[in-house]
Structure 1
Amino acid sequence: MVKTDTIRVHGARQNNLKDVSLDIPKHEITVFTGRSGSGKSSLVFSTLAAESERLLNETYSTYIQNQLTQYEKPDVDLIENLPVAMIINQKRLGGNSRSTVGTISDIYASVRLLWSRIGTPFVGYSDIFSFNNPKGMCETCSGLGYVEDIDLNELLDYNKSLNEDAIKFPSFRPDSWRGKRYLYSGLFDNDKKLKDYTEEEMNTFLYTEPTKLKNPPSNWPRTAKFEGLIHRFRRSFLLNDNFEKNKFRSDIDRVVTSKVCPTCHGKRLNQKVLSCKINGLDIADFTNLPIDEAIAFLEQIDSTKAKYIIEPLMQQLKSLSYIGLNYLSLSRETPTLSGGESQRIKLIRHLNSPLSDLVYIIDEPSVGLHPEDIQRINEIIISLKEKGNTVLVVEHDPDVIKIADHVVDLGPFAGKNGGKITFEGTYEALLSSDTSTGKALRRKHHLKKHPIQNEDKIHLSHISRNNIQDVSVELPKNAMTVVTGVAGSGKSSLISAGFEHQDNVTFIDQKPVHASNRSNLLTYLNIFDDVRSFFSKETGMKKSMFSYNSEGACPQCHGKGVLKTELAFMPDFTQICDVCNGTRYRPEVLEAKVDGYSIADILSLTVDEAIAFFNSNPKIAEPLQALKATGLDYMTLGQSLDTLSGGEIQRVKLSRYLTESASVENQIFIFDEPTTGLHEDDIPILLDSFNHLIAQNNTVILIEHNLTMMTEADWIIDIGPYAGSKGGKLLFEGLPNKLLEVDQSVTAQHLRRYLAD
């Protein structure tokens, strides 16, 4: 008889996995642990989750398959008894300014129904309360809540002509296709300065609606219409959310000013819709309330007619509050949510699901959470198991690892030195194991013996932003301050408002660097050019031949490494390019070797291996040493930046400041949760980086939930006591040992427990 009470993996070799086979118990919580880069995600996400999604997708019609995300078959011999997977990852919810917490969670649909049923006066059915519906949206701002103006003084240089690059925006340069739409129109003297244009010429240049030209010059595209600059700019960069909008973000921010819509005052809906109220509030007033206040408002509604709408609505809002998101409002735009907040909203969707016998795959649910909130996440994970599901969790946090029925530890190290199973068993057995994780969990914790006490302080006075109202704090220069408090308490608001107009401040966050799959670690560190020069000099081949974005690109896949075949109604078929075998380069480039290594071999080296190869070339080796200093020695040089986690991105950004050539001093470095994605054993590596910055007379400020980091602080600022309107107060500032005496601080409670364990 086939054993079906376990998920059986045979011979997994995805990424760095070394032919891994294991049995994962069903209907239990299995936590996957191990150093950063050890292979946890390769096993759980790139193998188990990807195969479950791929097999499920194959059951749909080819037309539907074409609409779904495509998953390649992972490199594994066989997976048996694999249930349907529900994947709860940390990808930000994204969307655009039309997407809010209310719309993404479907809660806004119930709110609209409620206002259409019992709001007075009656103005229409639920669809009219949507700011994405032309019947309901404010006409001035088209339901966005803000209007954007183009600052002509920023867009144009009036002292220049069109030939001299008068349009100060990258994609309107004279040699670009957009720029040529003005130069080739025949409507203007291309050598005339803009300041000398007549009023009529300027109006034609800026405000002409799309028009067919009567007698265009021969170089004008035959089917093209002429369109005034303002119309074209607005259509290209303001009305649409597209790739270019992100690409030119800094230029758009320079040219475009945004202000609250003067008609709806940010409420997004037209005046007729806003006239409909329940107990004095219109629908936008309600969605602007923090979740806890929204619950209190609903509790006051006495209507038998609306009871069947209010009860499930309350349940959804109470779930959001319970999971620690009580400080959010339903009107909060989803692009402003952190990865941790996005993940918790996804988790909420499954709380009341009647489905069972699924496998829930959860990626570091502790991210962005204070230890106080982690207890609630743990309860939700346990409730998913109790409903008859299997739960697989990738995690570093000791408080989450503790609830595991079964633990799988990967390692022993990272990258090529990882990918093996170093432990399988219970949490208790893990504690006494010889693994990095076991040792880290056994370690006793103490506060820093001799915190830096610098009398020279930075003063932030009378700071107000979001729930922070008139807070003043001080923190020591040339020391490490850790800012603590539950998620939503106001930590980030205090620090970002306090430091935003200072010149010597560097914010290092986890936001992705604008990167495509053609950019890698070397391009980000600005040393790919040096590597190509090195190969050119050693082999005598042209430098551009060593670029897969230029002459060296494989002629078949054009430097992508893969071939994509579009099959009409069937999903696109992707396969490794059979000419370059995925290396991206021409055959003759791959034959040009230095000490036995081709350029493709170099890109597949880890940072550690590359340091050894380039040890006599400091221009290349030094930035790689800095990358190693942040704990990223396991990454390969050719790894594309769009595959990095938030914590890895932050550490790549940090590495730029750790090289001798980039040595900085008298700077303030602010890090937002730098321990994200870090194993407890990797935290000392990060601490060394911070101490290096402090030794160079810099100040380090961490916004952090990790208890190990708090024990290493020179100074602590604790904000709280809770989130949203119940937070925003300064509970403590000073030496860490004094925080332990503050009764109303939940941080103090958990730190006391951590030191006693």
Structure 2
Amino acid sequence: MTFEPTTPADTHDTIEVRGARENNLDNVSVDIPKRRLSVFTGLSGSGKSSLVFGTIAAESQRLINETYTAFLQSFMPSTGRPDVDSLRNLSAAIIVDQERMGANSRSTVGTATDAHAMLRIVYSRVGTPRLEPSSLFSFNNAEGMCPECEGLGRTDQIDLEELYDRELSLNEGAITVPGYTVDSWYWQVFVHSGLLDADKRLDDYTDQEWNTFLYEPLTKVKVGKNSFSYEGLVPKIKRTYLAKDRDKMQPALRAFVERAVVTSTCPECAGTRLNAAARQVKVAGRTITECASMQIDDLVSFVRTIDDPAVKPLVDTLAHTLDSLVQVGLGYLSLDRESGTLSGGEAQRVKMVRHLGSSLSDITYVFDEPTVGLHPHDIERMNNLLLGLRDKGNTVLVVEHKPETIAIADHVVDLGPGAGPRGGTVTYTGDVAGLRASGTLTGRHLDHRIRLKDEVRTATGHLPIHGANTHNLRDVSVDVPLGVLTVVTGVAGSGKSSLIHGALPRHEGVVVVDQSAIRGSRRSNPATYTGLLDPIRTAFARANQVKASLFSANSEGACPECKGAGVIYTDLAMMAGVASTCEKCQGRRFKDEVLQYTLRGKDISQVLAMSVETAREFFTSGNARTILDRLHDVGLGYLGLGQPLTTLSGGERQRLKLAISMAKQGAVYVLDEPTTGLHLADVDRLLALLDRLVQDGNTVVVIEHHQAVMAHADHIIDLGPGAGHDGGRVVFEGSPERLVEQGQTLTARHLRAYLER
């Protein structure tokens, strides 16, 4: 039975927001119909996320948390009430965002969607030979995991020569591991244990001494009246260093681990993670490890051949889950694909699948640009899934820029008129037809189309790619033209990233500007990352005749209470830590005496609180203005100078990286979906920026699905024809005009439709 949206009959059919002031929201009041699909539009930084995620979803989740007992709440992050006068008629909110699914190597697509759990039960019930408990097929359970790799599918081997210098003694600093320098605590344990001669060169050690030095298990030793634990260097490093998340390590330690640890496929299970007994059980001629490694769209077909009545209901549910993964454009994945390797868009679609089969209704689902990473062909299927959630009686709130998804909305809330301080107001609410006629920036650009160029640029040379075989690529050879704008396209999973990221970075002069996380602490922000803070500190120092280091929150000027972080972090052990504003500096990060120094009436914390656009008016010349202009050019004018980098989206991180690399000449820039998070109006600015890079003598290669970028290209390389093993081939090379006129690919079909509208 299909749910038909109806006109709200009473106030309970509307989420009422009154006086929302979260972040840049300017006392926003708006009514959002329930059990409808509402799309929130506006420039990046206009306040969409602040309204949808920071206000509506945040308050819904806070109220749900308050229903738990005080004991349970003590283990939960403490979240404050959003800055809003009132919110009425909220329902339980489920946030389906683009946050990566974590780097836990025990989490896979199969475990994240419960598909692997269902497959395990099928094998435990009808497999041959019979292993009845389903836990025997789980690589996360001691009963089922491979004993060699403990269910990880790979083993870490330490390169011992990276741990020490054989020519030195312990007293001379033979241990070269970070944290083991002479006189350090770890060094003292080895030297004063009484188990080793601290003056003897390592090269002169006997076999017994080598074993004690490297592999001695944890043991108590007594020196005089004191006793302490001694452990060989290898198990100690495994326990204290290798068990940690590498992304959270200090740079020197991370560099050591990457240098000293060699990861290889487990020789016992060949990467399948399971023990020998589980690997031998078959259903319909296949093992569970073979099923887990199959492409999901192939696995669906196989699962449907299992016709044993003992598992029929389970097989039907499993097939439905796998079908859902295919529907959201993830049929090219496999169940054994690690969750941490998924892109933000892929992660969001995997999370979405969890909810498609849910029996819950009257839920509020909140999506953050669900079309990210999707080819226009896949956007059609995504739209159908959003409508399906609505038709089950749910309220669906979507933050989105793509006109294809805006077009299916029952209700649109447009924010603006600008970004940052110039945004934060509702400029339009109503249906899509009304948005088109509204005169807002979004309304004016909804039917805006980039036309094909009258004349494309001529290549000045080529970068050859020969015999590329990474992932699903099939011995691909292609010439990437130099001196022009090339767009590499194709459906998700067709091999675009494998081709470009797998081959081009090997060439000299290639600058890869992607959406990966920026390594750095939570103290890092656009000002520190771009080098903008240096001229700002210098300007403050000159104006006040004091040291520039006073104006660094990571140096002398830091608030002593929060050490310049602006917040106090509370570790909640198993759960995510909680950050609360530092009471001493009120989040300003600096000592009170530092804030007495001003530059043209502003203290350093007020300057760092400025947006890029505001700062451009404040710094009108010099290095600071040059850096600010680059940030403006890449569409980041709304970003705060002191905004933590950890709060940036993938698209924002990519544009920030582009801003700091723009000064290079004669480079080959490789960009990965740079339109992510960009409003339709900002796409024009991005195209102008790409043109400028090419005109300055650079080559630009863009992996992209947006038809506006395809239409503006000089050269297109289209991969396909499908995804996974149905892709991996170059199906078209040439100008956009020739693709439109002669192409028969999915990309050609959608680009033609775009230009005809």
Are 2:151 and 1:143 equivalent residues in the alignment?
Answer: yes
Q: Counterpart of 1:57?
A: 65
Q: Counterpart of 1:297?
A: 302
Q: Counterpart of 1:638?
A: 642
Counterpart Cα distance in 2 of 1:730 and 1:602: 50
Q: Counterpart of 1:669?
A: 669
Counterpart Cα distance in 1 of 2:277 and 2:166: 44
Q: Do the aligned partners of residues 172 and 648 (structure 1) sit closer, same or farther apart at CA in structure 2, a change above 3 Å counting?
A: farther
Q: Root-mean-square deviation (CA), in Å?
A: 2.6
**Aligned AA (2:751):** L
Q: Do the aligned partners of residues 251 and 564 (structure 1) sit closer, same or farther apart at CA in structure 2, a change above 3 Å counting?
A: closer
Following TM superposition, by how much is the alpha carbon of 1:542 offset from its aligned partner in structure 2, in angstroms?
A: 4.0
Does structure 2 conserve the Cα–Cα contact (< 8 Å) formed by 1:66 and 1:569? no
Q: Do the aligned partners of residues 171 and 374 (structure 1) sit closer, same or farther apart at CA in structure 2, a change above 3 Å counting?
A: farther
**Aligned AA (2:242):** L
Say which of 510, 516, 519 aligns to 1:514. Answer: 519
Say which of 347, 372, 377 aligns to 1:372. Answer: 377
Q: How does 1:388-537 map to 2 (within 5 A)?
A: 388-454=393-459, 456-537=461-542
Counterpart Cα distance in 2 of 1:263 and 1:24: 57
Following TM superposition, by how much is the alpha carbon of 1:345 offset from its aligned partner in structure 2, in angstroms?
A: 1.1
Are 2:677 and 1:696 equivalent residues in the alignment?
Answer: no
Q: Any idea what the Cα deviations from partners look like across 1:459-494, whole Å, max 9, x if unmatched?
A: 211111221111111121011111111111111111
Are 2:657 and 1:656 equivalent residues in the alignment?
Answer: no
Q: Pick which of 93-102 and 575-584 moved more.
A: 575-584
Counterpart Cα distance in 1 of 2:618 and 2:173: 45
Gaps of 5+ in 2: 1-8
Counterpart Cα distance in 2 of 1:287 and 1:613: 57
Following TM superposition, by how much is the alpha carbon of 1:567 offset from its aligned partner in structure 2, in angstroms?
A: 11
Q: Pick which of 508-517 and 412-421 moved more.
A: 508-517
Counterpart Cα distance in 1 of 2:446 and 2:576: 46
Q: Do the aligned partners of residues 439 and 147 (structure 1) sit closer, same or farther apart at CA in structure 2, a change above 3 Å counting?
A: same
Q: Pick which of 568-577 and 352-361 moved more.
A: 568-577
Counterpart Cα distance in 2 of 1:573 and 1:518: 15
Q: Counterpart of 1:84?
A: 92
Counterpart Cα distance in 2 of 1:389 and 1:715: 44
Q: Counterpart of 2:595?
A: 590
Does structure 2 conserve the Cα–Cα contact (< 8 Å) formed by 1:237 and 1:244? no
Are 2:342 and 1:337 equivalent residues in the alignment?
Answer: yes
Does structure 2 conserve the Cα–Cα contact (< 8 Å) formed by 1:658 and 1:689? no
Q: How does 1:552-563 map to 2 (within 5 A)?
A: 552-563=557-568
Say which of 601, 621, 626 aligns to 2:625. Answer: 621
Q: Do the aligned partners of residues 65 and 278 (structure 1) sit closer, same or farther apart at CA in structure 2, a change above 3 Å counting?
A: same
Say which of 76, 93, 103 aligns to 1:68. Answer: 76
Q: How does 1:568-607 map to 2 (within 5 A)?
A: 575-607=580-612
**Aligned AA (1:330):** L
Q: Counterpart of 1:152?
A: 160
Following TM superposition, by how much is the alpha carbon of 1:106 offset from its aligned partner in structure 2, in angstroms?
A: 1.0
Following TM superposition, by how much is the alpha carbon of 1:351 offset from its aligned partner in structure 2, in angstroms?
A: 1.1
Q: Counterpart of 1:349?
A: 354
Name the SS for the 1:481 alignment partner.
strand
Q: Do the aligned partners of residues 510 and 176 (structure 1) sit closer, same or farther apart at CA in structure 2, a change above 3 Å counting?
A: farther
Q: Any idea what the Cα deviations from partners look like across 1:43-73, whole Å, max 9, x if unmatched?
A: 1111111111111111111222234344321
**Aligned AA (1:726):** D
Does structure 1 conserve the Cα–Cα contact (< 8 Å) formed by 2:449 and 2:708? no
Q: Pick which of 333-342 and 349-358 moved more.
A: 349-358
Following TM superposition, by how much is the alpha carbon of 1:614 offset from its aligned partner in structure 2, in angstroms?
A: 3.3
Are 2:215 and 1:207 equivalent residues in the alignment?
Answer: yes
Does structure 2 conserve the Cα–Cα contact (< 8 Å) formed by 1:483 and 1:702? yes
| Percent identical residues | 47
Name the SS for the 2:150 alignment partner.
coil
TM-score between the two structures when normalised by the length of structure 1: 0.93
Name the SS for the 1:730 alignment partner.
strand
Name the SS for the 2:105 alignment partner.
coil
Does structure 2 conserve the Cα–Cα contact (< 8 Å) formed by 1:53 and 1:71? no
Gaps of 5+ in 1: none
Q: How does 1:190-339 map to 2 (within 5 A)?
A: 194-195=202-203, 197-215=205-223, 224-241=228-245, 244=248, 248-339=253-344
Counterpart Cα distance in 2 of 1:150 and 1:586: 45
Counterpart Cα distance in 1 of 2:510 and 2:451: 30
Counterpart Cα distance in 2 of 1:291 and 1:559: 48
Q: Counterpart of 2:109?
A: 101
Are 2:35 and 1:30 equivalent residues in the alignment?
Answer: no
Q: Do the aligned partners of residues 99 and 381 (structure 1) sit closer, same or farther apart at CA in structure 2, a change above 3 Å counting?
A: same
Counterpart Cα distance in 1 of 2:189 and 2:289: 42
Q: Pick which of 389-398 and 566-575 moved more.
A: 566-575
Q: Counterpart of 1:112?
A: 120
Following TM superposition, by how much is the alpha carbon of 1:557 offset from its aligned partner in structure 2, in angstroms?
A: 3.6
Counterpart Cα distance in 1 of 2:423 and 2:183: 50
Following TM superposition, by how much is the alpha carbon of 1:434 offset from its aligned partner in structure 2, in angstroms?
A: 1.8
Are 2:19 and 1:11 equivalent residues in the alignment?
Answer: yes
Counterpart Cα distance in 1 of 2:227 and 2:748: 69
Does structure 2 conserve the Cα–Cα contact (< 8 Å) formed by 1:373 and 1:486? yes
Counterpart Cα distance in 2 of 1:10 and 1:382: 27
Does structure 1 conserve the Cα–Cα contact (< 8 Å) formed by 2:401 and 2:678? yes
Does structure 2 conserve the Cα–Cα contact (< 8 Å) formed by 1:396 and 1:680? yes
Counterpart Cα distance in 2 of 1:543 and 1:550: 10
Does structure 2 conserve the Cα–Cα contact (< 8 Å) formed by 1:370 and 1:705? yes
Does structure 2 conserve the Cα–Cα contact (< 8 Å) formed by 1:63 and 1:569? no
Q: Pick which of 639-648 and 303-312 moved more.
A: 303-312
Following TM superposition, by how much is the alpha carbon of 1:428 offset from its aligned partner in structure 2, in angstroms?
A: 1.0
Counterpart Cα distance in 2 of 1:570 and 1:269: 29
**Aligned AA (2:485):** M
Following TM superposition, by how much is the alpha carbon of 1:498 offset from its aligned partner in structure 2, in angstroms?
A: 2.0
Does structure 2 conserve the Cα–Cα contact (< 8 Å) formed by 1:32 and 1:408? yes
Name the SS for the 2:283 alignment partner.
coil
Name the SS for the 2:19 alignment partner.
strand
Are 2:364 and 1:363 equivalent residues in the alignment?
Answer: no
Name the SS for the 1:273 alignment partner.
helix
Counterpart Cα distance in 1 of 2:480 and 2:574: 61
Q: Any idea what the Cα deviations from partners look like across 1:578-628, whole Å, max 9, x if unmatched?
A: 43222122211111212211111111111223233333442x332222222
Name the SS for the 1:486 alignment partner.
coil
Q: Do the aligned partners of residues 231 and 568 (structure 1) sit closer, same or farther apart at CA in structure 2, a change above 3 Å counting?
A: closer
Q: Do the aligned partners of residues 236 and 4 (structure 1) sit closer, same or farther apart at CA in structure 2, a change above 3 Å counting?
A: same
Following TM superposition, by how much is the alpha carbon of 1:189 offset from its aligned partner in structure 2, in angstroms?
A: 6.3
Counterpart Cα distance in 2 of 1:111 and 1:543: 62
Q: Do the aligned partners of residues 104 and 224 (structure 1) sit closer, same or farther apart at CA in structure 2, a change above 3 Å counting?
A: farther
Does structure 2 conserve the Cα–Cα contact (< 8 Å) formed by 1:122 and 1:276? yes
Does structure 1 conserve the Cα–Cα contact (< 8 Å) formed by 2:77 and 2:578? no
Q: Any idea what the Cα deviations from partners look like across 1:546-569, whole Å, max 9, x if unmatched?
A: 233343333344433345689999
Q: Any idea what the Cα deviations from partners look like across 1:651-703, whole Å, max 9, x if unmatched?
A: 111111123xxx332x3221111110011111232223323332333221111
Following TM superposition, by how much is the alpha carbon of 1:12 offset from its aligned partner in structure 2, in angstroms?
A: 0.8
Q: Counterpart of 1:551?
A: 556
Following TM superposition, by how much is the alpha carbon of 1:107 offset from its aligned partner in structure 2, in angstroms?
A: 1.1
Q: Pick which of 110-119 and 420-429 moved more.
A: 420-429
Counterpart Cα distance in 2 of 1:72 and 1:262: 50
Counterpart Cα distance in 2 of 1:50 and 1:322: 29
Does structure 1 conserve the Cα–Cα contact (< 8 Å) formed by 2:19 and 2:27? yes
Q: Pick which of 105-114 and 510-519 moved more.
A: 510-519
Does structure 2 conserve the Cα–Cα contact (< 8 Å) formed by 1:340 and 1:367? yes
Q: Counterpart of 1:725?
A: 725
Counterpart Cα distance in 2 of 1:676 and 1:370: 12
**Aligned AA (2:235):** H
